[in-house]
Chain A
Amino acid sequence: MAAAPALLPLAWRWLIRERRHGELSLIFIATLLAAAVAALTGRFTSHINHNLLAQGVELLGADLILDTPSPPPAAWLERAAGEGLQVSPGVEFASVVVHGERVQLASIKAAADNYPLRGRIEIADTVRGDPRPAPGMPGPDEVWVEARLFDLLDLAIGDPIQLGQKQFSIGAALAFEPSRGGDFFNLSPHILMHRDALPATELIQPGSRAHYRTGFAGEASALEAFKVWLEPELRDNHKLIDIHSGRPAMGRALGRIEQYLHLGSASALLLAGIAIAVAARRHADRHIPASALLRTYGVDSRRIVMLFLLQLLILGLLASPAGALLGWLGGQALLQLIDPAGAPPLFTLLDHNLLIALLTGLVTLLGFGLAPILAIRSVPALLVLRRLPTPLSPSRWLAYFSAGGALLLLMWYQTGSPVLVIRFALGALALVLIAAALFQGLLLVLRRVRSRRIWWRFGVANLWRRRRFATAQGIAFGLIFMCFALLIAVRQELFDQWNNQLPPQTPNHFAINIQPQQAEPFAAALQRLDIDYDAVYPLVRGRLIELNGEPIRQAISKEADDHNALRRELNLTWSEAVPYGNEVLSGHWWEGTPQRNDVISVESQLAEQLGIEIGDRLGFLIGGDTFDAEVVNLRSVEWESFRPNFYIVFPPGRLEEYPATYMTSFHLPDERRRLLPELLREFPSVTLLDVDYVLAEARRLFDQGSRAITAILVLILASGAVLMVATVVASAGQRLQQNALLRALGTGSRQLRQAQFAEFLSLGFLAGLLAWTGTERQIRPVQPGVRTALPAQSHSAGRHPGHYHAHPGHHRRLVHPQDPDPIAHVAAARKSGLTPPAGIPGAFD
């Protein structure tokens, strides 16, 4: 190492003198691309994560929420304060409100002055007027109420309403408020009041049903410490809720984008890395005579290697920061373009992503360039006297180890998932081995193809003679084509899914709590108003308790044991027809009302996870009764369709005896929104949920995602192009020599060109074939995986029952979907995943 500074001037000068050499430019560009890809990916993912986290805590109203049925012990709050956390106590409960003659059940939240700790409340001065941030909390004699209540009670701002023993005046219309707990199944209009005014209402008595929701906010480390301390203290009916316990499904969809970006950037790094390896190899080969010469000057192998490594390092130190900066700026420009308001400030200088990108460039360069350069070590001095037929043979183990190591290290850092990395590595290894065998075999076949055309034979013979190099080249080409094909296919699929899932007619309203006697009139009203809806579904709540006569938890595998479907009541429905958007995958659907009513249809993923098959009998507990039913078909469900979706469907004739409510979803264009109050007046007890903003948000985010993906794809294409050039340049030297020889032997230039054409043609053909088989192989068996791993499983409503089951932990920032409550999300509120929420509308499960 001591020799390095002394060698630096020579290394530098040599590099400068050779700067026009193809290999050096290739190494430079490939390193630049690697760094740029890393920077761009980092920029996007951190933006996405930042947005999500910010959005998450804003919706939660705090970093952490403790939900208890009675006021939490004072010691807990003191502990939190001791950790330096802000604490905001509050309570939520249901009560009737009275205005004149009218009475309405409402959901009331009484909160402290510092509510919310995160995010904000928005109010409007007129009903459905322009929202503005609230200056604080309502005063002691004032409440803010949701627009729906104005409709239901025929209120105006300033009107008095009675809450328990106290009269309040309506200060404003509540437009947005973070975090609502409670039972959404009986979701009623929100009222926000100050907790100091609560005693005067006398609404909360010992034994009253209420949710005490205490918000906490502060430093991540303090929160963590508090959580660790608190968790053992919690009882069954205590819930601890944070952003991770119920990451919105939209977040998971963005997680998919993030994964795609990581996959894409890994591909780009791989391609850039191989380009570096090829170019470095050529660089080393070209310097064999020079390094033999240096040995005659008395330079030992260590210093020679050092000299060339220094050159590599200089290149890296020039290319890497440039690439990182370019990628960074490119990412910034793209964010600015996509989302001018939401784009982060240009330079949070020395953002760690920039540093990581810089290191990524260097690690890729050294990882892939090291082995070829180290091979220079073994150049014998004797070469100055005699042209020995000794091309460099870089240690393969070193090459694979350092290149593979570098790539896996980078991937591991990016994705945070060793499982994914190992899988990628094994997959790539298998692919290369298969490809090598295939390629050699194909070459053999091609060689057998007899042709009288001399140039054809010549070209193929050429390939055959250099078959090892040709194989490597073929695999490289094949890999490039395959990466393109795969990524383009996956991208297309992603986009298609987004578009399919969010067509313009996607329902943007839900109606729940429709009473049985209202179901038909409600449907009739929708028809009369010419509102698009698909069906009104009955909901009966019940628990899944047995599988083939055995208690379900014993009958299924351990890992399935904490499946959401087992931890809470399910929403069951019955239907004559296959529900909208569902598809029967196996078994048969019943026609109309079947003879037997002890049959059911089960959602296929649930079936797979719990090990349920057609012919199994599931036992249910509904309203105190137990009975069982036979599984007669399995059905796929589009969970993100913004339509009512169910795990389990009965035929008509079995559930009618149990208490039910009804629900539906419908699409209401903006300009017809004024129909809503009319509908609400006609059906005051029905709860209408507007999910338009969720839809809009989803569309916006997917738009961002698709642009990010396109940008990454462009970079991958660029890396692939560099690799192609690198392999062609690498073979150019040999080709030139060969051609000179052939020319000397009297071969015409036309024939030479034809031979070369034949060579490239067959190489291209073989590589294409390879790519095709590889892509087929990859896409076919993986496609369901690709579907689940990448595409939009989407926005808000998507609750995927253990969707990640097949892909455990592929991203450290992705949490297992702990049953994020979709309606809660829809209603801009969040619930715990740690404890099953009590009342989730069957709409989404």
Chain B
Amino acid sequence: MKAQASEEFTATIRAEGLDKEVTTPKGALSILSDIGLQINRGEAVAVVGASGSGKSTLLGLLAGLDLPTRGRIWLDGHEITALDEDGRARHRAGRVGFVFQSFHLLDAMSALENVMVPLELLQLPDAEARAADWLRRVGLQDRLDHTPAQLSGGEQQRVAIARAFAVEPGILFADEPTGNLDSRTGAQVADLLFELNASHDTTLVLVTHDPALADRCQRRLTLDAGRLV
């Protein structure tokens, strides 16, 4: 217990010897090979590299959305590579938040409801008040009842950020959060992300191919054709 707790303090995410291969009609394809890394609590790390270099794949593995072909991953002190898909999902609950390039909001629901859903699923109290509060914090207090279709891209991504932070996760994974936004909106969203990250002492894993964005992180992991350089 003690050992785990201390590890938790030093390394929130740790990976050893990660390989990822997929089978394609043309045979086995190696996407990631021999990745080892450690990300400490509260750290903001950028994963950079050319398109197709394996950034999203790595993020997916670290977040437990997928399993590596070889290697082990610990998330918050638990070896998630030893868990099945449902086990990994349960392990994520309340610990991990996501922000995606394409927002991934539920179209049928309002901004408020989109933020409420994870809170409700975690059975946290006062879901509605909390969700409204978080939307206020991202500057959308006047957009509570709007559906995604009624929001601009930047506004949608702000809803997504509110949704991610609302469960107050220890770790935030962001995959090209500004990739679908014009540069001005992208900058605003990035500001918001880093601001909240700092104020909540969240561990941030940010995938981007934008050097400016990567510069705002404390550390940078560069991928080239599936290898860390």
Contact = CB atoms under 8 A, between A and B. Distances in A.
B121 A10 contact: yes
A302 B66 CA distance: 18
Interface stretch (B1-9, B112-120, B135-143): B112-120
A296 B86 contact: no
Contacts of B56: 385-386
A835 interface: no
Interface in A1-38: 6-7, 9-10, 13-14, 17-18, 21
A13 B113 contact: yes
A6 B98 CA distance: 23
Contacts of A562: none
Contacts of A13: 109, 113
Contacts of B85: 295, 301, 380-381
B214 interface: no
Interface stretch (B40-48, B88-96, B188-196): B88-96
B60 interface: yes
Nearest to A18: B108
Given A10-B121, A382-B60, A386-B56, A296 B94 contact: no
A73 interface: no
B104 interface: yes
Contacts, number: 84
A290 B106 contact: yes
A514 to B, nearest CB: 82
A300 interface: yes
Interface in B58-113: 59-60, 63-66, 85-86, 88-96, 98, 100, 104, 106, 108-109, 113
B86 A297 contact: no
A385 B175 contact: yes
B149 interface: no
Contact of B60 (A294, A303, A385): A385
B218 interface: no
Contacts of B86: 300-302
A298 B167 CA distance: 11
B98 A294 contact: no
Contact of A384 (B64, B104, B117): B104
A294 to B, nearest CB: 7
Nearest to B147: A17
Contact residue range for chain B? 20 to 34
A17 B111 CA distance: 13
A299 interface: yes
B120 A385 contact: no
A297 B66 CA distance: 15
Point out which of A18, A297, A380 has the most chain B C-beta atoms below 10 A from its C-beta: A297
B121 A298 contact: yes
Given A10-B120, A17-B113, A385-B65, A299 B93 contact: yes
Nearest to B67: A382
B183 interface: no
A416 interface: no
Given A298-B94, A298-B96, A384-B100, A9 B89 contact: no
B199 interface: no
Contacts of B57: 385
Contacts of B100: 384-385
A381 B96 CA distance: 13
A297 B121 CA distance: 8
Nearest to B118: A297
A293 B106 contact: yes
B123 interface: yes
Contacts of B151: none
Nearest to A296: B98
A382 B65 contact: yes
**Residue from the set B66, B92, B108 with the largest chain A CB neighbour count within 10 Å:** B108
A306 to B, nearest CB: 11
Interface in A518-558: none
Nearest to B120: A10
B106 A299 contact: no
A299 B113 contact: no
Contacts of A298: 89-96, 121-122
Contacts of A6: 120, 123
A289 interface: yes
Given A297-B121, A384-B65, A384-B104, A14 B89 contact: no
Contacts of A297: 92-93, 117-118, 121-122, 167
Q: Which of B86, B113, B167: most chain A CB closer than 10 A?
A: B86
Q: Which one of A9, A21, A293 has the highest number of Cβ atoms from chain B below 10 Å of its Cβ?
A: A293
Which one of B91, B93, B104 has the highest number of Cβ atoms from chain A below 10 Å of its Cβ? B104
A300 B66 CA distance: 14
B123 A384 contact: no
A297 B160 CA distance: 12
Contacts of B113: 13, 17
Nearest to A298: B93
A10 to B, nearest CB: 5
Contacts of B108: 14, 17-18, 21
A380 B86 CA distance: 10
A300 B89 contact: yes
A13 B95 CA distance: 26
A384 B89 contact: no
A295 B117 contact: no
Contacts of B122: 297-298
B104 A293 contact: yes
Contacts of B66: 380-382
Nearest to A303: B121
Nearest to A381: B65
A522 to B, nearest CB: 84
Given A381-B89, A384-B104, A296 B123 contact: no
A382 to B, nearest CB: 5
Interface string B163-185: 00001000000010000000000
The 10 A-B residue pairs whose C-beta atoms are closest, nearest first, are A298-B93, A17-B108, A300-B86, A298-B92, A297-B118, A381-B65, A18-B108, A382-B66, A382-B65, A300-B89
Interface of B: 56-57, 59-60, 63-66, 85-86, 88-96, 98, 100, 104, 106, 108-109, 113, 117-118, 120-123, 167, 175
28 contacts: A6-B123, A13-B113, A14-B109, A17-B108, A17-B113, A21-B108, A293-B106, A295-B65, A296-B96, A297-B93, A297-B117, A297-B121, A298-B89, A298-B92, A298-B93, A298-B122, A299-B89, A299-B93, A300-B90, A303-B121, A380-B65, A380-B66, A381-B85, A381-B89, A382-B66, A385-B57, A385-B175, A386-B60
Given A14-B108, A380-B65, A381-B66, 13 more contacts: A294-B121, A297-B121, A298-B94, A301-B89, A303-B121, A380-B66, A381-B64, A381-B89, A382-B60, A382-B66, A384-B98, A385-B56, A385-B57
